[in-house]
Structure 1
Amino acid sequence: MSLVELLWSRLEPWFSPRYAWRRIRHNLLPKLLSLGVAALLWLISTGDERARIEQSYDVPITVRDTTGGSERRAVSGLNPPTVRVTLSGRPERLRELRGANIEAVLDVTGVPQGSFNRPVTVQPPADTALARQTPERAEGFVDTELSRTLPVTISVATPSENSLPRYTVSPTDAEISGPARVLTRAARVVSSPPSLSPGEQRETPLIALDAGGTPLSDVRVRPSSVTVRRVDTGEVPIKALRVVLDDPPPNLKVTALSVQPQSVRVVAAPELLARLREIEGRVNYRPGTYTAPVSLRVPPGAQALETVSVRLTVEPLRAE
């Protein structure tokens, strides 16, 4: 008998439905029990892996620079300032995490001054794993760090028409530090505008601004806040009055004008304020387009709190 015939004689009974069914039913209960135990062991052994999920966080980049030397260094123009980090782990662990709990470090140690493009290293917290991060690199500028001292400018909310609040600030100066190319643009340090009642004081943060009033990033302010106190006693006799310009000379004609501001606040005794409806302003008219100061005719015993200017276009009248 050949090998093929021998194998066929052994396998032929399995192709008989009756024989196959009989073999399946043989010791059926132990077989099912063994299958159940195997499935349970598989579920237990892979439970941790199946319970792991992924979650993403926006993580701020921390710049690290341990370069030695006599000059302090600073980084500006960091782009991007954050990275998108995706971690894998158990749901309960990922739910308790925030972006601030994750460390994303950009190391510029030894990088020469100027532009750079460096990798960002993410250190996942315990019991988690880093799945991916976007982007993997960040760019910026390494510069010398400088410091300057500027007086603090108090920024307050617009007062009501019948009030003249006065404030004090402590301390009166602040030190700003940052990269040289940014710090040279700093023009002033202002406090955030608080809304204070008479005699009230409040701690308000400080902001460094450039000449155009835009906040400067990458600049540290020390102290970071000041105490602003309102020292006036409350309401004062004050009233907003519309500014009315005097007429031009007979030989001139005004074709366009814009008064800034259109009204001024005037402080005076209550009985005088009650009689005032407007404030007359005098202008030195001449042909052309120009901006001129307005001389306000304030009654004796009253004081205007704002200065006024006017933008004019004046033409000479043609004789008919």
Structure 2
Amino acid sequence: MFNRKEFIKATALGLLPLNVLKAKSGPVQTGKKPVVVSTWKTGVRANEAAWQILDKGGYALDAVEAGVKVEEANPKNNTVGYGGRPDRDGNVTLDACVMDENGECGSVAFLQDIKHPVSVARKVMTDTPHAMLVGEGARQFALSQGFEKENLLTPAAEKEWKKWLETSEYKLEVNIENHDTIGMLALDKNGRLCGACTTSGAAYKMHGRVGDSPIIGAGLFIDPKFGGAVATGAGEEVIKTAGCHLVVEMMRAGHSPEEACKIAIQRIIERDSSNKKDIQVGYIALNKDGVYGGYSIVKGFDVSVCNADGNRAEPTSHQI
């Protein structure tokens, strides 16, 4: 494989189109469809809902929407939707996006009072000329579409927030639950690949902060011809490297899903390796053949997968 210096030199001369890059040697991977993959062990429950649609020959976009809505409505999941930890002012603000098999997309960010931002994001895609709505505009649009206004701050989350106010210390900590997203990719029987990503964002963030999850190319990206990727973890690091777009471009270049995820993680570490042991970012990817993979900065990240072999969580490799 070309190293970076050789690649830059060759592309500058116009001699090396991206798609001639080859993955490392090894047996050709084969996958199964339909298949759904999602981030973290918590994705297993979400996969169940998605699989009920896929197993009946249903549409991948319906599957990922139904899947992530399980966690958006789960008050015990304090990183997504209802029950999510609030910002430092006590407001639960939600971000979500979707992409379909044609590369069309919809997104909402800094959305308040609406339990299912993923469904609002889909409405943005199908019912507006725009790709993203934010803040009060996103809420007004949701209400106009029949979504109900709800208080998303649960007593448990409010109690944790008030405890946090005693010190107001804001620091990301690495552990197996250091995440703020559920991302999901599905490939249906007709070969349609779609994705969704939804989150309540980093706990106790500044009011108005938006992470990578609703940003197309950062938290989610799909190329209809090659595959898709979703991200989780420290959103600022994903944004700064256009993470999921990078993963998909590496699959376009011939890399397997796992290799592509690894390259994107290494890109984050290359930017500034001094503090990366203290944060977590994980990627999962799924190609058009049903092959999936994942990779993370530190140990503890799982990909949940459901196909004809069953529904399970599998650990991914990691850099540190």
* TM exceeding 0.5: no
Q: What TM-score comes out, normalization by structure 2 length?
A: 0.19
Which structure features the higher share of strand residues?
1
Which structure features the higher share of helix residues?
2
Q: What TM-score comes out, normalization by structure 1 length?
A: 0.19
- Larger RCO (alpha carbons 8 Å, 6+ apart): 2
